[in-house]
C-alpha cells in the first residue's frame, strides 16, 4: 500500500505542474509583446539621435549633404571592386594636396578647426602651418591606400637565412599535434569538439642579382717603365742624389759627386755616407746594378750590411787604425854559436827609432795600407745588388778613407716591370634591389 500511494501522488503533481506551465507561457508572450511595443514608442520620441536631420548631421566633421563620390556607387548597386581599383589607381599617382576627392578647401577647414576668433589672431606663419597640416590630413587617405594596396616592394623585407632560428622554428611541445599538420575528420553524432593547432612558413619570393667586373688590359712591355716604387734619399748635405730616365727603359741612380779632391782628409779621415732607397715591391725590379765607382783613396760599399764592393784592394773591411811605426829598423842577433869562431845563429827585427800615433788602413785580418794612395780611381762595374734588396727601406752605405784629398761617386742602373694598363667597369642587375633597400 505504501508504494501505490507514492505513485498516485507523483502523477497528480506532474499533471498540476504541466497545467501551470502552459498557462504561464501564454501570458508571458502577450505581455512581452505589449511591453516591447510601448517601450519602442517611448524611446522613439525620447532619443534625439535616432532622428537623423540636417542639423545634427552638420556636427559630423567634413560632412557634405551631396558628396561628390556618391555618384560612383550607383545608388548602392555599383561594383565595389571597380570603385576600389579606381581609388587605388588615383592614389598611386597623387601629389600632396590633390588626394581629397570631395574638394574641401584646406584653408576653410583650418579656419573652422581653430574658430574665426583665434584664426584672426594667428600670424601668417601659424596660418600657413595650419593649412599645411590640413593638407597632410587629407593626404593620409591616399597614403593609407598606397600602403595597403601597393606592391610589396615598398615595404621593408628581410630574407631569413637558412641557419636562422626563425627559419627552423617549431612550436613548443603541446601546441600542435601530428608534427604540426592539422588533420581532417568527419564528426558523427554525438558531436565531438577537438582543439588542434598547426603552423607553416612560406617564402614570398627569392631574388638574386649578380655584379660582374669587366677588366680590359692593353699589352705593355715586360720592363723599362718608371721605377715609381724606388724613392732615393740621402742623409748628407754634401752628397748629391739623382734619379732620372736615360732612355730605352734604363734609369740612372747616382750617389755622390763627380769631381776631384773636394774632401780634405789630412793625414787620414773617414767619410761615411748613406743612401736610403724605399722600394714598394722588390719583385718589380728587373735590374739594379752597381755600374761605376769613383774614389780617392779607399772605398767600401755595403747594401743592407752586405759587402758589395771594396777598392782599390779586395778585402772584408775598411778601417782606419793607429799604430807605432819604426823609422830605423835593423837586424839584431839574439843567439850565437859561441867559441873561438863565434857567429850569429838567430836574427830578429829590431828598431832603433819609433814613431808613435801613425795611421794606417786595415782592409783584411792582416792586410794594411797607407791612407794616402796618391791616385784617383774610376772603375766600370756590373754588380747585381738585387739579392740584397728588400721591400721597404734599403740602406746603401759607403765609406771613403782619404789620406790627403779625395772624393766619392757611385752610380747604379735600374729597370722595373711595367704595370698593366687596365681599366674596369661593373655590370650589375642589382639596382632594383638597392632601390627597395633604400626606401
Quote the pLDDT of residue 18. Answer: 36
Quote the pLDDT of residue 318. Answer: 95
Task: Read off the pLDDT of residues 128-150 as tens digits, 9 standing for 90 and up.
Answer: 888 888 888 888 888 888 887 76
Cα angle value 88/89/94 (rounded, 5°): 95
C-alpha cell at 248: 730605352
Quote the pLDDT of residue 304. Answer: 95
Q: Are residues 242 and 121 in the same domain?
A: no
Quote the pLDDT of residue 316. Answer: 94
Q: Are residues 145 and 241 in the same domain?
A: no
Number of domains into which the chain is organized: 2
Task: Read off the pLDDT of residues 146-170 as tens digits, 9 standing for 90 and up.
Answer: 887 765 555 566 676 767 666 666 6
Q: Enumerate residues 6+ apart whose C-beta is below 8 A from 257.
A: 238, 239, 240, 407, 408, 409
Contact (CB, 8 A) for 376 and 311: no
Choose one of 125, 150, 175: the last residue of a domain. 150
- The backbone torsions φ and ψ at residue 312, rounded to the nearest 5 degrees and listed phi first, read -80, -10
**Domain for residue 294, yes or no?**
yes
Q: Pick the more confident residue, 409 or 358.
A: 409
Is residue 433 pLDDT above 70, yes or no?
A: no
Q: Are residues 145 and 227 in the same domain?
A: no
* Count of CA atoms in the C-beta half-sphere (13 A) of 231: 8
Quote the pLDDT of residue 2. Answer: 39
Q: Pick the more confident residue, 198 or 410.
A: 410
Q: Are residues 287 and 378 in the same domain?
A: yes
Q: Are residues 264 and 386 in the same domain?
A: yes
Q: How far apart are CA 407 and CA 238, in angstroms?
A: 11
SS (H, E, C) 168-232: HCCCCCCCCCHHHCCCCCCCCCCCCCCCCCCCCCCCCCCCCCCEEEEEEEECCCCEEECCCCEEE
Task: Read off the pLDDT of residues 294-321 as tens digits, 9 standing for 90 and up.
Answer: 999 999 999 999 999 999 999 999 999 9
Among 208-217, 270-279, 400-409, which is the least confidently predicted range?
A: 208-217
Quote the pLDDT of residue 273. Answer: 93
Domain containing residue 282: 223-419
Quote the pLDDT of residue 26. Answer: 45
Is residue 388 pLDDT above 90, yes or no?
A: yes
**Domain for residue 378, yes or no?**
yes
Task: Read off the pLDDT of residues 68-77 as tens digits, 9 standing for 90 and up.
Answer: 777 777 776 7
Q: Are residues 230 and 103 in the same domain?
A: no
Quote the pLDDT of residue 169. Answer: 64
Is residue 222 pLDDT above 80, yes or no?
A: no
Q: Are residues 231 and 104 in the same domain?
A: no
Quote the pLDDT of residue 10. Answer: 35
To the nearest 10°, report the CA torsion of 18, 21, 26, 30. Answer: 180
Quote the pLDDT of residue 410. Answer: 95
Task: Please state the pTM of the whole predicted model.
Answer: 0.45
From the list 389, 367, 95, the residue with the least C-alpha distance to 227 is 389
Q: Are residues 267 and 388 in the same domain?
A: yes
To the nearest 10°, report the CA torsion of 31, 37, 43, 49. Answer: 140
Choose one of 117, 150, 183: the last residue of a domain. 150
Q: What is the DSSP string of 289-304?
A: EEEEEEEESEEEEEET
Is residue 99 pLDDT above 60, yes or no?
A: yes
Average pLDDT, the chain: 78
Q: Are residues 269 and 395 in the same domain?
A: yes
Q: Enumerate residues 6+ apart whose C-beta is below 8 A from 92.
A: 146, 149, 150
Q: How far apart are CA 100 and CA 158, in angstroms?
A: 34
DSSP 159: P
Among 98-102, 127-131, 323-327, which is the least confidently predicted range?
A: 98-102
Q: How far apart are CA 51 and CA 60, in angstroms?
A: 15
Q: Are residues 248 and 377 in the same domain?
A: yes
Q: How far apart are CA 393 and CA 232, in angstroms?
A: 9
Which range among 113-127, 233-247, 419-433 has the greatest average pLDDT? Answer: 113-127
**Domain for residue 28, yes or no?**
no
Q: Enumerate residues 6+ apart whose C-beta is below 8 A from 315.
A: 363, 364, 367
**Domain for residue 204, yes or no?**
no
Quote the pLDDT of residue 427. Answer: 85
Q: Are residues 334 and 253 in the same domain?
A: yes
Quote the pLDDT of residue 412. Answer: 95
**Domain for residue 285, yes or no?**
yes
SS (H, E, C) 10-53: HHHHHHHHHHHHHHHHHHHHHHHHHHHHHHHHHHHHHCHHHCCC
- The backbone torsions φ and ψ at residue 43, rounded to the nearest 5 degrees and listed phi first, read -70, -25
Is residue 438 pLDDT above 70, yes or no?
A: no
pLDDT band with cut points at 50, 70 and 90 for residue 369: very high
Is residue 190 pLDDT above 60, yes or no?
A: no
DSSP 331: E
pLDDT band with cut points at 50, 70 and 90 for residue 347: confident
Task: Read off the pLDDT of residues 225-269 as tens digits, 9 standing for 90 and up.
Answer: 778 767 677 656 668 888 899 888 899 999 999 999 999 878 889
**Domain for residue 179, yes or no?**
no
**Domain for residue 212, yes or no?**
no
**Domain for residue 206, yes or no?**
no
Is residue 418 pLDDT above 90, yes or no?
A: no
Quote the pLDDT of residue 70. Answer: 75
Quote the pLDDT of residue 204. Answer: 61
pLDDT band with cut points at 50, 70 and 90 for residue 7: very low
Q: Enumerate residues 6+ apart whose C-beta is below 8 A from 241.
A: 232, 233, 234, 253, 254, 255, 275
Which range among 163-177, 184-198, 211-225, 403-417 has the greatest average pLDDT? Answer: 403-417
For the chain, give the percent of residues with pLDDT over 70. Answer: 72
pLDDT band with cut points at 50, 70 and 90 for residue 13: very low
pLDDT band with cut points at 50, 70 and 90 for residue 52: low
Quote the pLDDT of residue 167. Answer: 60
Quote the pLDDT of residue 21. Answer: 37
Q: Enumerate residues 6+ apart whose C-beta is below 8 A from 50.
A: 43, 44
Give the CA distances from residue 400 to residues 272, 274, 299, 317, in Å, rounded to whole numbers and listed in that order: 6, 12, 5, 12
Choose one of 94, 118, 150: the last residue of a domain. 150
Q: How far apart are CA 411 and CA 243, in angstroms?
A: 10
Quote the pLDDT of residue 34. Answer: 84
Q: Are residues 144 and 285 in the same domain?
A: no
Q: How far apart are CA 322 and CA 380, in angstroms?
A: 33
Amino acid at each position: 500500500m505504501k508504494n501505490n500511494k507514492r505513485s498516485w501522488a507523483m502523477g497528480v503533481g506532474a499533471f498540476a505542474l504541466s497545467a501551470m506551465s502552459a498557462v504561464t507561457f501564454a501570458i508571458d508572450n502577450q505581455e512581452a509583446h505589449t511591453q516591447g511595443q510601448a517601450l519602442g514608442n517611448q524611446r522613439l520620441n525620447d532619443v534625439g539621435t535616432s532622428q537623423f536631420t540636417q542639423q545634427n548631421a552638420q556636427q559630423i566633421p567634413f560632412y557634405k549633404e551631396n558628396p561628390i563620390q556618391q555618384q560612383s556607387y550607383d545608388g548602392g548597386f555599383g561594383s565595389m571592386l571597380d570603385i576600389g581599383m579606381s581609388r587605388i589607381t588615383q592614389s598611386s599617382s597623387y601629389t600632396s594636396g590633390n588626394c581629397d576627392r570631395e574638394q574641401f578647401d584646406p584653408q576653410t577647414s583650418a579656419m573652422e578647426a581653430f574658430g574665426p576668433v583665434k584664426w584672426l589672431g594667428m600670424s601668417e606663419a601659424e596660418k600657413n602651418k595650419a593649412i599645411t597640416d590640413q593638407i597632410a590630413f587629407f593626404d593620409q587617405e591616399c597614403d593609407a591606400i598606397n600602403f595597403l594596396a601597393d606592391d610589396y616592394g615598398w615595404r621593408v623585407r628581410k630574407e631569413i637565412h637558412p641557419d636562422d632560428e626563425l627559419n627552423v622554428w617549431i612550436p613548443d611541445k603541446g601546441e600542435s599535434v601530428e608534427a604540426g599538420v592539422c588533420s581532417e575528420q568527419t564528426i558523427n553524432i554525438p558531436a565531438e569538439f577537438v582543439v588542434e593547432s598547426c603552423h607553416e612558413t612560406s617564402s614570398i619570393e627569392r631574388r638574386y642579382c649578380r655584379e660582374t667586373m669587366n677588366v680590359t688590359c692593353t699589352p705593355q712591355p715586360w720592363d723599362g717603365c718608371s721605377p715609381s716604387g724606388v724613392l732615393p734619399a740621402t742623409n748628407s748635405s754634401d752628397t748629391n742624389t739623382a734619379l732620372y730616365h736615360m732612355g730605352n727603359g734604363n734609369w740612372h741612380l747616382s750617389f755622390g759627386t763627380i769631381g776631384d779632391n773636394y774632401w780634405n782628409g789630412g793625414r787620414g779621415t773617414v767619410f761615411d755616407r748613406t743612401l736610403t732607397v724605399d722600394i714598394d715591391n722588390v719583385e718589380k725590379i728587373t735590374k739594379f746594378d752597381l755600374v761605376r765607382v769613383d774614389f780617392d783613396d779607399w772605398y767600401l760599399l755595403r747594401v743592407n750590411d752586405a759587402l758589395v764592393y771594396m777598392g782599390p784592394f779586395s778585402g772584408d773591411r775598411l778601417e782606419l787604425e793607429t799604430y807605432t811605426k819604426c823609422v830605423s829598423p835593423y837586424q839584431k842577433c839574439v843567439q850565437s854559436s859561441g867559441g873561438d869562431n863565434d857567429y850569429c845563429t838567430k836574427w830578429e827585427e829590431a828598431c832603433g827609432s819609433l814613431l808613435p800615433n801613425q795611421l794606417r788602413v786595415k782592409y783584411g785580418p792582416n792586410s794594411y795600407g797607407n791612407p794616402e794612395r796618391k791616385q784617383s780611381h774610376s772603375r766600370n762595374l756590373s754588380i747585381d745588388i738585387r739579392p740584397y734588396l728588400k721591400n721597404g727601406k734599403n740602406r746603401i752605405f759607403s765609406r771613403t778613407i782619404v789620406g790627403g784629398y779625395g772624393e766619392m761617386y757611385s752610380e747604379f742602373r735600374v729597370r722595373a716591370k711595367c704595370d698593366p694598363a687596365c681599366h674596369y667597369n661593373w655590370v650589375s642587375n642589382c639596382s632594383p634591389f638597392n632601390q627597395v633597400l633604400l626606401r
